[in-house]
């Protein structure tokens, strides 16, 4: 097990743990009286909602104690995300090199850049659309074949007896597909597991998640999602599209692929975090757009999750990418469906046409929608709590790839078995309509000309099931069928999310919600028998689906717009908004959203859009890490190498200072330099020999930094000889001479606002003489959060 | 004339002019070599697009010379907006008082605040919806009566002869209404003129436009828009709704009305710019939402124009206000229309139902849509250029209220006359359909059972005309009618925008575009006779309307969403986006957007979302105003009064410093205090007598500042005796101890980004010892813009 797990030590004190993130050591000397008073003093890794009864932290404490402070093992699946997360730098490094380049550039040059940005966004849209198209067609083909084979088998054995053979066939087929998908994810690229939305949220928030936007991840993601959907799991193919779009964007915008070792020598200007993150926003939006046919929803998703600063041109480009993505998908799907050029189709998931005449809602239905929202919130919180426990269990016990593959196969088999049993014991027979809207109607034990209604829900891809629940006429399902379906699918979906397969939670959530929503509609219609027109079950299915999805993922504006766009009808804006809002309020009372839970479980230093409300009594002085490792403007190479090689600190940003006097007082700030820049400088041996009086530094260009971006080599790979160690290095040209600073008395919300609004990575704290006294990094801000007992401070894992 | 115009002096040098804005005097000693080189050296007030041939600045220079440097008269209409615009402070003043209050507040307190924010947003939505409802019903009633009277008159005189009497009746009725509206606007509240969108854009951008969010403005706006729409002008009632929503928001959120002298003692926490601006965003969104039935579009409008920082909760609240607004409007309109509870109606402007089956578009239509977008952009630019010239003309010659009223009446009469003549000479007779969709079908000289098609377009409120153009079946209009209508309405609308009436430009633009769009559709259908289904004229009318509107106002994402929501069908998202995008690109090539033109003509220091591309060679050192008037931490009252009373500088923000030594070197920065705070301090006589050793300062509370907000008394109204002048004032408690600072070498884009992202009003520039060397304010940043010859610097009007 040693070869697949990593030894990690939990820090014994949060204050020290803070040091290792990317800042500087925080000595015990730093005073934090108010915090200490508020904190319970116990080790508290993450705050669990009030429904939760498992106290992970106590567990950990116990384990730590039993191993007498030895490092604790973090299992494979979490380890991959609990590595030291670095931050992205949304703030341009405006050093001399950069400014010189910008100043050289003519107005025409900027115009060309602007045009290339549009071209890149167009490419992102086209490629994302093509990927969506590929996934859709392959899934449809494979699932069609699978269901056809099973259906023929069932028909064959229904009369002859021996349906257990059909069950086994079904389970084996599912297991085979899922095994393939799980092996890819578990063994080759674990980051491709799940929907990828939490990872993209983190990336857009400014956290660099390792390998999240690599080509390999994309390939595994695409084939993984095909396998898991065809494998009949309770999953959707929509979430992964968002991740796929983001990877496409990260690749296209850099004009090269490190994996394929191809550099097209284009878009070199975009090889930095600022630009890349903008494009990744566009990619995520294009992904949402392709998945749900919701370009505006995609833009809002990207903005809600990512952009810290609203920029009109950026938003417009993101929208362009989204539109192109939907357009490409629709165009190629229309060709595939032999209706070339008919572009009025939505994205991957098709909610079907909602006619507002037949499904208009009335004033007195508003309270019903709100009540359904509350139910969705409660059910969503239950889902999240169950999934939270399951994830904890998985982190502890299911961390070896073979176990993960086996669990995935087990879930696939159980899904097939449960579905089969439900269909087998269902006696909800419905007459086959003249339009024959069912794709694979199963007759089973029904009379001729009838089909099994339970099979519509279970013996189908989830997307089709959702559409049936929305649009099949009243009376297609009987209430018992819907109730049983909701119950079983709820637990299946909950068990499935978090498996080592590439799959999304959107569609299962919608399906669960649509089922109980339709049930509500049927019950309401039976209560108000006289006027049954108002309680159209399809309408209630839609609201239920929205409420359930909102209760699980807790997205707000973007989800409203996505659902409205997916229905293709703006009439339902208000009911969907009300349901989502209620679901969020009710759900948040019990437990956080599913994505947030998973982000927290991965110990990601995620920055919300505002500082915790009651954090005004904290100032930069208490929050910052200090003392700070600084460099002089002209620094000895040996010192730099030693600092960079010090694995116990592993700092990423270093203030550059000028010593004003020889005594020990802190030096004046004159710049900021990053580890990555220093490594490039060391690699290119940009040294000044002391003996020579004039500078012999090799002239470095921005290109050298861009070529190394984003995979800067580790310091260990750079050899520096003993002679070179004695040389000096002049940082003046490369450091950012105007880093943002704050005084020590700045309150935490103020620091937070500056940090978040500008997307900073390092914020230097200075005293009133402009001397460096501390450094604030992402982890210094992210660790404060509102708990049950007021402001709490999270402790951080060393690795 | 002296009583209605104001003497204003144009500065002779831009550098000096910069001083008077809200910063500090900019001495000639400040070096700006690179700028000077780029500037032509001539006085250049605003950059006129390349189509423009009028050089206003030279005119002004000539006039100035002729009056030998005497102050120049700025006419009434412009004067009102060319007063010194102050900035809003989106950055919290985190002084000791504020921090103490925040620290005292419990978590529950913050929760209550959050709930009040939601309540306020709900109220904003309800009130905005009610206002929209009121406007809609009154306009419908009055317009109905007017058209009925005229129609009866026309019918009476058609056979008897003497139609000129009808014409006179029509013109007189129009003039009467318009006169009423124009008098209200011109004499009582000129800021209520126009659509109000430029003003709200400025407000959300952070410019304090005097009286823009007052109750009186709202009243004049509402009755003014009713008069102008009923008066038959080529205007819409949608733009003013946005302004109305903003006023409602500003009023409700403050929990008091200064005009009515009522203070409800609620929402006192929200009495500062930060909070107020958030609510005004919500109000503007609610206004858009009510006007177009576009809640999402409203949110995007507010964000596109206003929010500098994307905040999830704020966005969600804005969306809530928007939704409530649409809901309220629909609810009351449904009662008014005797279909209570039917909520599926859109906002004020109803685009009618677009059925996607009949109006689906095809791949090969995309180039056509793009071409229409280009045409819309070109026509929009023409519109803007004409309106620009007209506005210049109005600023010079039509600045007295009586002239303005007369011009409005003239336009009203001409509109009636032109409409009548067009109808009279039209021979486009169409059979009356069985559904009789025309509200006021004019038979005129048509055969029985037929009606005059030209009258559908002219003899109708513009909203109805738009709907007819979108939805009337093919063949309802003949091409000549549409062509003539486009031509006349184009010039009428252009003449109308900018009159001293309260009215919007959205609907006229849509109408012009719909007319030529429909014309395009008809022409296309006649070319491709075989398959006429694809060239549905209604579809092309929609795209034309979008292109024309986009070409005039140049809004991007928000306009796309507004139009999509107004059509109630997301299918047209791509074509509308393409048309808008092309229109923007083509239009921007010739001339700016209409709102931007008017903002520039009012010399508003408007900050765009990014610094001009080629401004990297400018640094804070060149941009800042210096030297700065600073105060000591404990300052003599006399000094403060003198500085505040100095009308030649009129600074609004003062760095507070600590002298480290007695020599002349700049002192160390320790805070920032605003004029408004000093005035409150002076008013409350918060003095320390030097003779007494212990502090006897009266304890001021935040409440005192909030009570004075936002109408702080002028310094002249505060009497300070000679004895008091000798007292000292301790600023420590009131100043913001942690103002944001930048070093002198910071590049302009970096300063700009910080300024814009945080919504700052003052940004202190310090040297590397934290000594104040300059101050950057909004005007220092806003004056740089990209002109034809690269970066240009605008000169600023002294007043």
CA distance A591 to A656: 44
Kindly report the nearest CA distance between residue B759 and chain A, in angstroms: 10
Q: Please state the separation of Cα B148 from the chain's center in Å.
A: 35
Q: What is the pLDDT of residues A385-404, one digit of tens each?
A: 999 999 989 988 888 899 99
* Nearest to B543, CA basis, from B514, B507, B509, B582: B514
Q: Do B679 and B644 contact (CB within 8 A), yes or no?
A: yes
Q: Terminus-to-terminus CA distance in chain A, angstroms? A: 18
Place of tokens 């964000």: B303
Could you tell me if B776 lies within 8 Å of chain A, comparing CB atoms?
A: no
Indicate the pLDDT class of residue B532, thresholds 50, 70 and 90. low
Indicate the pLDDT class of residue B494, thresholds 50, 70 and 90. very high
Strand ranges (E), A65-163: 72-74, 86-87
- pLDDT score of A244: 95
Residue of chain B nearest A295, judged by CA positions: B573
The torsion angles phi and psi of A428, rounded to 5 degrees, stand at: -95, 85
Average pLDDT, chain B: 80
Q: Identify the three-state secondary structure at position B423.
A: helix
Indicate the pLDDT class of residue B60, thresholds 50, 70 and 90. very low
CA distance B546 to B581: 10
Fold match, A115-336 / A363-428+462-601: yes
Strand pairing of A631-632 and A653-658? parallel
Q: Which two tokens stand for residue B709?
A: 């907000």
Average pLDDT, chain A: 80
- pLDDT score of B587: 94
- pLDDT score of B37: 33
Q: Do B628 and B19 contact (CB within 8 A), yes or no?
A: no
Q: Domain limits of chain B?
A: 6-83, 111-336, 361-601, 620-782
**Radius of gyration, CA atoms only, chain B:** 28
Least confident of A159-168, A719-728, B89-98, B784-793: B784-793
Residue B377 has pLDDT above 80, yes or no: yes
Q: What average pLDDT does the segment B473-502 reach? A: 89
CA distance A690 to B104: 58
Could you tell me if A746 lies within 8 Å of chain B, comparing CB atoms?
A: yes
- pLDDT score of A463: 84
Residue A274 has pLDDT above 90, yes or no: no
Under the phi-then-psi rule, with left for phi > 0, alpha for psi from -120 to 50, and beta for the rest, what region is A293? left
Could you tell me if B126 lies within 8 Å of chain A, comparing CB atoms?
A: no
Kindly report the nearest CA distance between residue A211 and chain B, in angstroms: 28
- pLDDT score of A606: 84
- Name the more confident of B654 and A534: B654
**CB-based contacts of A276, cutoff 8 Å, min separation 6:** A250, A253, A254, A270, A710
Could you tell me if B766 lies within 8 Å of chain A, comparing CB atoms?
A: yes
Least confident of A210-224, A333-347, B107-121, B670-684: A333-347
Kindly report the nearest CA distance between residue A161 and chain B, in angstroms: 47
CATH superfamily of B620-782: CBS-domain (3.10.580.10)
Residue of chain A nearest B93, judged by CA positions: A750
Residue of chain B nearest A342, judged by CA positions: B362
Could you tell me if A100 lies within 8 Å of chain B, comparing CB atoms?
A: no
Q: Do A633 and A670 contact (CB within 8 A), yes or no?
A: yes
Residue A186 has pLDDT above 80, yes or no: yes
Between positions 321 and 340 of B, the ones with CB within 8 A of A are: 323, 326-327, 331, 340
Residue B700 has pLDDT above 70, yes or no: yes
CA distance A82 to A74: 9
Q: Return the percentage of chain A with pLDDT > 70, whole number.
A: 82
Kindly report the nearest CA distance between residue A39 and chain B, in angstroms: 15
- pLDDT score of B703: 83
- Name the more confident of A457 and B629: B629
Residue B608: list chain A partners with CB under 8 A.
312
- pLDDT score of A341: 62
Element spanning A466, H or E: helix A462-471
- pLDDT score of B483: 92
- Name the more confident of B38 and B775: B775
CA distance B662 to B647: 29
| Crossing angle of the two packed helices B594-601 and B366-397, in degrees rounded to 10 | 20
* Helix, strand counts (H, E) of chain A: 30, 18
Comparing CB atoms, the residue among A313, A342, A740 nearest residue B360 is A342
Residue A304: list chain B partners with CB under 8 A.
310, 312, 315
CATH value of A620-779 in 1.10.3720.10, 3.10.580.10, 3.40.50.970, 3.40.50.2020: 3.10.580.10
- Report CB contact under 8 Å: A556, B316: yes
Q: What average pLDDT does the segment A763-785 reach? A: 87
Indicate the pLDDT class of residue B683, thresholds 50, 70 and 90. confident
> How many cross-chain Cβ pairs, A to B, lie less than 8 Å apart?
235
Place of tokens 């508020």: A38
CA distance B255 to B267: 5
CA distance B627 to B655: 11
Strand ranges (E), A677-726: none
Residue of chain B nearest A320, judged by CA positions: B577
CA distance B747 to B612: 12
Residue A768: list chain B partners with CB under 8 A.
658, 668-670, 770
Between positions 512 and 551 of A, the ones with CB within 8 A of B are: none
Could you tell me if B106 lies within 8 Å of chain A, comparing CB atoms?
A: yes
CA distance A289 to A300: 10
**CB-based contacts of B227, cutoff 8 Å, min separation 6:** B177, B178, B180, B181, B182, B184, B501, B502
Q: What average pLDDT does the segment A426-430 reach? A: 79
Under the phi-then-psi rule, with left for phi > 0, alpha for psi from -120 to 50, and beta for the rest, what region is B232? left
Burial environment of residue B41 by CB neighbours within 10 A (0 to 12, 13 to 18, 19 or more)? exposed
Q: What average pLDDT does the segment A291-308 reach? A: 83
Q: What angle do CA A268, A269, A271 make, to 5 degrees?
A: 70
Between positions 343 and 362 of A, the ones with CB within 8 A of B are: 343-344, 346, 356, 360-362
Between positions 149 and 188 of B, the ones with CB within 8 A of A are: none
The CATH number of the domain covering residues in A115-336: 1.10.3080.10
Kindly report the nearest CA distance between residue A265 and chain B, in angstroms: 23
- Report CB contact under 8 Å: B614, A110: yes
Kindly report the nearest CA distance between residue A684 and chain B, in angstroms: 28
**Radius of gyration, CA atoms only, chain A:** 28
Indicate the pLDDT class of residue B34, thresholds 50, 70 and 90. very low
Q: Which two tokens stand for residue A373?
A: 């929202």
Q: Which of B290, B344, B596 to mutate to test the interface with A (most CBs of A within 10 A)?
A: B344
Residue B49 has pLDDT above 60, yes or no: no
Comparing CB atoms, the residue among A94, A581, A746 nearest residue B750 is A94
CA distance A98 to A94: 6
Q: What average pLDDT does the segment B28-38 reach? A: 35
Residue of chain B nearest A304, judged by CA positions: B312
Kindly report the nearest CA distance between residue B286 and chain A, in angstroms: 14
A531 pairs with which residues across the strands? none
* Nearest to B286, CA basis, from B243, B255, B252, B251: B243
A262 pairs with which residues across the strands? A257
- pLDDT score of B694: 47
- pLDDT score of B467: 85
Residue A437 has pLDDT above 60, yes or no: no
Between positions 277 and 316 of B, the ones with CB within 8 A of A are: 293, 295-296, 299, 303-304, 307-313, 315-316
- Name the more confident of A706 and B535: A706
Element spanning A154, H or E: helix A107-160
Under the phi-then-psi rule, with left for phi > 0, alpha for psi from -120 to 50, and beta for the rest, what region is B162? left
Could you tell me if B269 lies within 8 Å of chain A, comparing CB atoms?
A: no
- Name the more confident of B545 and B556: B545
Residue A64 has pLDDT above 80, yes or no: no
Q: Do B178 and B228 contact (CB within 8 A), yes or no?
A: yes
CA distance A48 to A44: 10
- Report CB contact under 8 Å: A616, B364: no
Q: Do B357 and A355 contact (CB within 8 A), yes or no?
A: no
- Report CB contact under 8 Å: B343, A740: no
Strand ranges (E), A679-734: 728-730
CA distance A403 to B275: 53
Q: What is the pLDDT of residues B92-110, one digit of tens each?
A: 888 888 888 888 888 888 8
Q: Do A102 and B616 contact (CB within 8 A), yes or no?
A: yes
Residue A742 has pLDDT above 50, yes or no: yes
Whether domain B111-336 has CATH 3.40.190.80: the reply is no
- pLDDT score of A798: 52
Q: Do A227 and A500 contact (CB within 8 A), yes or no?
A: no
- Report CB contact under 8 Å: A573, B309: no
Interior/surface letters A450-474, b for 16+ CB within 10 angstroms, e for the rest: bbbbbbbbbbbbbbbbbbbbbbbee
- pLDDT score of A39: 34
The torsion angles phi and psi of B147, rounded to 5 degrees, stand at: -65, -35
- pLDDT score of A120: 95
- Indicate the DSSP class of residue B187: I
Residue A740: list chain B partners with CB under 8 A.
742, 754
- pLDDT score of A177: 94
For the domain made up of B361-601, give the CATH fold.
Answer: Clc chloride channel (1.10.3080)
Q: Do B786 and B637 contact (CB within 8 A), yes or no?
A: no
- pLDDT score of B87: 83
* pTM, two decimal places: 0.86
CA distance B218 to B95: 34
Place of tokens 């049936």: A468
For the domain made up of A363-428+462-601, give the CATH fold.
Answer: Clc chloride channel (1.10.3080)
Kindly report the nearest CA distance between residue B125 and chain A, in angstroms: 13
- pLDDT score of A664: 63
Q: What average pLDDT does the segment B346-369 reach? A: 73
Residue A668: list chain B partners with CB under 8 A.
768-769
- pLDDT score of A387: 94
Between positions 602 and 631 of B, the ones with CB within 8 A of A are: 608-610, 613-614, 616-617
CA distance A176 to A401: 16
CA distance A366 to A364: 5
- Name the more confident of A61 and A433: A433
Q: Do B590 and B49 contact (CB within 8 A), yes or no?
A: yes
Q: What is the pLDDT of residues B132-141, one digit of tens each?
A: 999 999 999 9
Q: Please state the separation of Cα A13 from the chain's center in Å.
A: 29
- pLDDT score of B689: 63
- pLDDT score of A692: 53
Kindly report the nearest CA distance between residue B593 and chain A, in angstroms: 15
- pLDDT score of B359: 62
- Name the more confident of B507 and B348: B507
Q: Which of A616, A668, A752, A788 to mutate to test the interface with B (most CBs of B within 10 A)?
A: A616
- pLDDT score of A172: 93
List, as one string, the DSSP characters of A610-650.
S--TT-TT-BHHHHSB-S---EESEEEHHHHHHHHH-TTT-
């Amino acid at each position: 097990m040693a070869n697949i797990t990593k030894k990690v030590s939990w820090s014994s004190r949060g204050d020290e743990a803070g040091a290792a993130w990317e800042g500087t050591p925080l000595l015990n000397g730093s005073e934090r009286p108010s915090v200490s008073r508020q904190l319970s003093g116990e080790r508290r890794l993450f705050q669990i909602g009030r429904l939760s009864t498992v106290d992970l932290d106590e567990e950990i404490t116990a384990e730590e104690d039993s191993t007498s402070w030895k490092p604790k093992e973090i299992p494979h699946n979490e380890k991959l995300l609990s590595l030291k997360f670095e931050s992205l730098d949304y703030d341009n490094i405006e050093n001399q090199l950069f400014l010189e380049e910008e100043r050289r550039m003519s107005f025409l040059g900027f115009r060309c850049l602007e045009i290339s940005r549009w071209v890149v966004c167009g490419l992102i849209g086209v490629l994302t659309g093509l990927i969506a198209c590929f996934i859709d067609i392959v899934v449809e083909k494979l699932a069609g074949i699978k269901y056809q084979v099973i259906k023929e088998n069932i028909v064959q054995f229904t009369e002859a007896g021996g349906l257990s053979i059909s069950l086994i066939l079904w389970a084996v087929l599912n297991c085979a597909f899922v095994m393939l998908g799980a092996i890819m994810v578990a063994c080759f690229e674990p980051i491709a597991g799940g929907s990828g939305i939490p990872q993209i949220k983190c990336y857009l928030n400014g956290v660099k998640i390792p390998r999240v936007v690599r080509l390999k991840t994309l390939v595994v993601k695409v084939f993984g999602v095909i396998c898991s959907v065809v494998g009949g799991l309770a999953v959707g193919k929509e979430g992964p599209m968002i991740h796929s779009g983001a990877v496409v964007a990260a690749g296209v915008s850099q004009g090269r692929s490190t994996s394929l070792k191809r550099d097209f020598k284009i878009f070199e200007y975009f090889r930095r975090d600022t630009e890349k993150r903008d494009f990744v926003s566009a990619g995520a939006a294009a992904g949402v757009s392709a998945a749900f046919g919701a370009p505006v929803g995609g833009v809002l998703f990207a903005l809600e999750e990512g952009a810290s600063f609203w920029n009109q041109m950026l938003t417009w480009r993101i929208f362009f990418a989204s539109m192109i993505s939907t357009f490409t998908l629709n165009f190629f799907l229309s060709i595939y469906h032999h209706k070339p050029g008919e572009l009025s189709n939505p994205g991957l998931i098709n909610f079907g046409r909602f006619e507002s005449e037949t499904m208009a809602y009335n004033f007195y239905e508003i309270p019903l929608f709100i009540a359904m929202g509350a139910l969705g919130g409660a059910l969503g919180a239950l889902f999240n709590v169950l999934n939270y426990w399951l994830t904890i269990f998985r982190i502890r016990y299911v961390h070896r790839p073979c176990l993960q593959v086996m669990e995935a196969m087990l879930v696939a088999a159980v899904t097939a078995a449960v579905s089969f049993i439900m269909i087998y014991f269902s006696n909800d027979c419905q007459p086959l309509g003249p339009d024959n809207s069912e794709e694979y109607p199963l007759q089973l034990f029904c009379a001729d000309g009838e089909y099994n209604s339970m099979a519509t829900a279970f013996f189908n891809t989830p997307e089709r099931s959702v559409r049936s629940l929305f649009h099949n006429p009243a009376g297609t399902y009987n209430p018992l069928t819907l109730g049983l379906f909701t119950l079983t699918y709820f637990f299946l979906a909950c068990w499935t999310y978090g498996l080592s397969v590439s799959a999304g939670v959107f569609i299962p959530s919608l399906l669960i919600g649509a089922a109980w929503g339709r049930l509500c509609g049927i019950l309401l219609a039976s209560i108000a028998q006289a006027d049954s027109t108002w309680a159209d079950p399809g309408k209630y299915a839609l609201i239920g689906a929205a409420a359930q999805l909102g209760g699980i993922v807790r997205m707000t504006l973007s989800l409203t717009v996505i659902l409205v766009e997916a229905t293709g009808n703006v009439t339902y804006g208000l009911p969907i908004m009300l349901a989502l809002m209620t679901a969020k309020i009710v759900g948040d009372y019990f437990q956080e959203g599913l994505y947030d839970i998973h982000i927290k479980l991965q110990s990601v230093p995620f920055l919300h859009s505002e500082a915790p409300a009651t954090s005004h009594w904290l100032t930069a002085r208490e929050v910052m890490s200090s003392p700070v490792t600084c460099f002089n403007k002209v620094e000895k190479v040996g010192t730099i190498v030693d600092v960079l090689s010090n694995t116990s600190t592993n700092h990423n940003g270093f203030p550059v200072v000028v010593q004003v006097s020889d005594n020990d007082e802190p030096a004046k700030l004159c710049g900021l330099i990053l580890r990555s820049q220093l490594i490039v400088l060391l690699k290119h041996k940009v040294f000044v020999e002391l003996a020579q009086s004039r500078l012999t530094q090799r002239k470095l260009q921005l290109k050298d930094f861009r070529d190394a971006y984003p995979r800067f080599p580790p310091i260990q790979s750079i050899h520096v000889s003993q002679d070179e160690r004695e040389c000096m290095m002049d940082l003046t040209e490369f450091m950012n001479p105007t880093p943002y600073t704050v005084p020590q008395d700045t309150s935490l919300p103020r620091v937070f606002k500056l940090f978040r609004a500008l997307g900073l990575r390092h914020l230097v704290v200075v005293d009133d003489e402009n001397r460096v006294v501390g450094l604030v990094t992402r982890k210094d801000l992210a660790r404060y959060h509102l708990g049950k007992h007021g402001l709490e401070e999270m402790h951080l894992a060393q690795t």
